[in-house]
Amino acid sequence: MKILVTGREGQVVQSLIEKAALRPDLQLVAMGRPDLDLARPETVLAAISEVQPDLVVSAAAYTAVDQAEDEPEAAFAVNAAGAHAVAEAARACGAPVIHLSTDYVFAGDSGKAYVESDPVGPKGVYGRSKLEGERLVAEAHPEHIILRTAWVYSPFGKNFVKTMLRVAETRERLSVVSDQWGNPTSALDIADAVLRVADHLAGKADFAGYGIYHLAGTGDTNWSGFARGIFAESARNGGPVAEVIDIATSQYPTKAVRPANSRLSTEKFRKTFGWSMPEWQASLRDVVKRIVSPAV
């Protein structure tokens, strides 16, 4: 199977490259700028057509949540128009598309974990651009799987885990928001799930499960609980540790409004693909160990 993934440097892309390298039956092609530039939709069809993939994974995105408030055009160009172009190109090649979206499409006012059919209502530009991307992907290609994920971290790139460990090298105490709840999700687990979907789709022209799925780490916490988990694992590996002080969102104002609750139910994914994401604490253990004590 030949899989094309958009982007080269993102956490999910790097995780897919690592996981696919262990699968001799897979050929994974990662394409990014300048060859495939979501901000320039005219590059997308030519790049994807040249590869002729069996499956397209739409992973590249504009992810600067606060910056998006000042750059709505840039966010929508990549997350909406760019995603639409990828889905159109996948359809032209006869390949299904897996598109990555976000928990930020929800307002966060619910007291329970969101299911796929719950009403959406993003509060910021980033969430609105990703929601529009979902709509355009579904409109462009009937063979689409949209995976909404959350609080993504990994040994790669920039993320909350690496930020906490870096800041703890110079500070003994850190104030972290305690009234925003969600599901920490390892990009390595997302990659496993994507490959699970790829295997499920292979040779199944009659697959009837296209649509939206939630895909996030099993179990939930708040940001301060996530930070404490990071430092607990870091301590086990001789890494930096800091005391975590709970604060309210109102004490840490940001340009973009985050949902107070963006917990996601992943039951639909489990039932369709027969696979569940690991407990977030177990995945965090593996990632922190890799960051703090990298193999020589």
From the list 183, 192, 194, 215, the residue with the least C-alpha distance to 280 is 183
Distance CA 97, CA 82 (A): 13
Beta carbons of 230 and 165 less than 8 angstroms apart:
yes
Residues 19, 23, 26, 30: what is their CA dihedral angle, to the nearest 10 degrees?
30
Phi, psi of 264 (to 5 degrees): -120, 135
Identify whether 126 is a catalytic site residue.
yes
**C-alpha pair distances (Å), 164 with each of 31, 209, 241, 291:** 30, 38, 9, 12
From the list 198, 193, 88, 86, the residue with the least C-alpha distance to 149 is 193
Distance CA 52, CA 54 (A): 7
H-helix or E-strand containing 6?
Answer: strand 2-6
Name the token pair of 235: 């301590």
Catalytic residue selected from 62, 114, 126, 153: 126
SS3 string, 211-252, reads EEEECCCECCEEHHHHHHHHHHHHHHCCCCCCEEEEECHHHC
Distance CA 243, CA 216 (A): 27
The residues annotated as belonging to the active site are: 126
